[in-house]
Every structure is written in C-alpha cells, then in structure tokens.
C-alpha cells in the first residue's frame, strides 16, 4: 500500500516512484520474454503490429524502440498489467474500479534510443474526468544517465498544452516559447514503478549511456471515466476492465480538452507522430534536457 505521504505527493506533484513493486521472478520473466521479442524482431524490416523499430534496426543488430500492446502478445506482460501489487496502489489513486486503455514497452538501447518529446497523455485520450494515470514498470534501473522519464512536477493541475502544428496533431507540445521549467528525473530501480497523472508533462531524451532502459508502460483509467473520442469496439472496450463493474453513468468534471485530433502524413506510434514536430526539444543521440540546458553530449 502507498503511505499517506506518497498519496499526498502524487496528488500534489502528479507523479510518484515506488520501489520493489514487482516480485523478483516476474521481473526476471519480463526481461527474458522481452529479450525473446527483440530476438524475433530480427525477421522484420519495417514497423509491424508488434514492433516499432529504431531507424538503425537490422537483422544483425536489432533495435526495437517499442513492443506495441505487449499484454496482447504474451501472458507474462498480461500478468504484470493485472498484478495486485500494482492494482492495489493504483486503486488508492483513482479508485477501485479500473480499466486499462493501452500498454507499450518502450526501449532505449545503449547509445541510441529515440527521444519522446514533451507531451501530456491527456492530449491523446481526453476523458470525462482525469482520474487516469500511467504506470511504468522499470525493467532496468532508470537513471537520468540512461534517459529515465522526466516530468514537470505539479503540471497536472496546469494548462492543457497545444499538441497541434499546422492543423494536425503531432503528439508533442508545439507552443513557441514552451520550456519544461522545473523538470525532474523519475528515477527508480528495476522492479519498481513510476506513476504519472494523465495531464503531467513528461518526455525523455535519447540514451547516450552504456546501459539499456526498458520501461513497460500501462495506462489505467477510473472505470467511470468515458473516452471523449469514443469507443470503436464495445466488447473490446469492456474486456479492458481489470476491476469493478461497468457503469452507464460516467463521472463528468469540468476540464480543458483539445480536440479533434487530425493526423498528418505520419500516423502510428508516438515516435512516428512526433517526427513531424518542427522544433523538437530533445534531439536524437544527444542528451538535451531542454532547449536552453544541455546536460551532456
């Protein structure tokens, strides 16, 4: 269980790191299965329903930047997504009725790894209330050196930023003078988790270190939060309920949203969509913290 101090920290700061959440055996299994997936990626040359590939991916040297929807492809990921150690903590923050609305395993190989530009998850999936958060299961120790996620504390109560450029959704903040003022690293050891609120500003740089960085991200929603962009497949939607009963009375909160979300010439993963961004703050293969402050090359 989270302590009252941890709950207070999450409510005030919009993020939290919790150590020792995933049992050792499950962590070992997650790492092993992930290695197996990377090995399988040798047989593909372009993005698939399972793999999002780094530009330098080859059969000899596989570079996967994301396993898409991993819990749909292997029971070990599904087990982790439903693990009571996680659901009990998430319940304390968004209530006991929980639905998941997506999962992905983001990987940054040593001395490579695409950056994820600053964004708010709320721009991708606004709901009738914002009791939504993402949990990141750390498969490796997450440190600033190997490009752990960065967040701006308290930003979950601030503005909803523009993620559009020339009328299309680019999945990253496009406001001219935006700088992630006060950003901090979310450092956590392998087997621990990060949690961030759906409106918290976050992103991560390229990995210039010699250590890998693998983060299994799972998005959890309060069961009474209804997706404003709608539901395409009703049975599938309900299969995503992890705890609690379906409700026909979504809870509505007065919150800013930005829709619609027309895509430009790039669709697919966040990396693809963000590649249209004209002024990315994180640069490829550089550990740029943000525009005006470079912490290392």
Ligand X SMILES: O=C(O)CCC(=O)C(=O)O
Q: How many CB atoms lie within 10 A of CB 258?
A: 15
CB of 39 to ligand X, least distance (A): 21
CB of 1 to ligand X, least distance (A): 26
CB of 124 to ligand X, least distance (A): 8
CB of 165 to ligand X, least distance (A): 18
How, if at all, do strands 132-138 and 241-243 pair?
unpaired
**Cβ nearer to ligand X, comparing 93 with 217:** 217
Residues lying near ligand X in the complex (CB under 6 A): 104, 106, 116, 149, 202, 204, 215, 217, 270
**Cβ nearer to ligand X, comparing 244 with 272:** 272
**Cβ nearer to ligand X, comparing 76 with 105:** 105
CB of 246 to ligand X, least distance (A): 26
CB of 249 to ligand X, least distance (A): 29
**Cβ nearer to ligand X, comparing 52 with 224:** 52
**Cβ nearer to ligand X, comparing 83 with 104:** 104
Going by C-beta distance under 8 Å and a sequence separation of 6 or more, which residues neighbour residue 8? none
C-alpha distances in Å from residue 17, one per residue of 50, 205, 275: 28, 19, 29
**Cβ nearer to ligand X, comparing 93 with 97:** 93
Select the residue whose beta carbon is closest to ligand X and give its number.
Answer: 204
Q: How many CB atoms lie within 10 A of CB 112?
A: 20
The answer to whether the CB of 163 falls within 8 A of the CB of 173 is: yes
**Cβ nearer to ligand X, comparing 97 with 137:** 137
Measured distance between the N- and C-terminal CA atoms of the chain, rounded to whole angstroms: 40
**Cβ nearer to ligand X, comparing 97 with 104:** 104
CB of 215 to ligand X, least distance (A): 5
CB of 173 to ligand X, least distance (A): 12
């Amino acid at each position: 269980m989270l302590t009252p101090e941890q709950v207070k920290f999450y409510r005030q700061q919009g993020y939290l790191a919790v150590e020792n959440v995933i049992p050792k055996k499950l962590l070992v299994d997650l790492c092993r299965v992930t290695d197996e997936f990377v090995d399988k990626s040798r047989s593909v040359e372009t993005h698939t329903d399972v793999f999002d590939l780094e530009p330098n991916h080859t059969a000899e040297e596989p570079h996967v930047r994301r396993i898409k929807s991993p819990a749909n492809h292997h029971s070990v990921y599904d087990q982790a997504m439903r693990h009571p150690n996680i659901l009990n903590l998430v319940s304390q923050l968004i209530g006991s009725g929980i639905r998941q609305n997506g999962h992905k395993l983001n990987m940054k190989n040593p001395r490579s790894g695409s950056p994820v530009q600053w964004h708010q998850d709320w721009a991708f999936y606004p709901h009738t209330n914002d009791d939504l958060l993402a949990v990141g299961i750390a498969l490796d120790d997450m440190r600033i050196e190997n490009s752990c996620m960065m967040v701006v504390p308290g930003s979950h109560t601030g503005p909803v930023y523009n993620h559009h450029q020339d009328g299309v959704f680019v999945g990253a903040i496009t406001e001219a003078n935006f700088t992630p003022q006060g950003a901090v690293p979310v450092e956590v050891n392998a087997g621990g988790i990060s949690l961030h609120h759906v409106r918290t500003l976050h992103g991560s740089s390229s990995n210039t270190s010699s250590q890998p960085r693998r983060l299994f991200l799972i998005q959890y929603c309060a069961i009474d939060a209804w997706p404003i962009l709608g539901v395409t497949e009703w049975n599938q939607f309900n299969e995503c309920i992890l705890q609690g009963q379906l409700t026909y009375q979504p809870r509505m909160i007065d919150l800013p949203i930005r829709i619609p979300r027309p895509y430009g010439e790039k669709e697919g993963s966040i990396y693809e969509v963000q590649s249209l961004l004209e002024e990315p703050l994180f640069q490829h293969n550089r550990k740029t913290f943000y525009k005006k402050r470079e912490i290392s090359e």
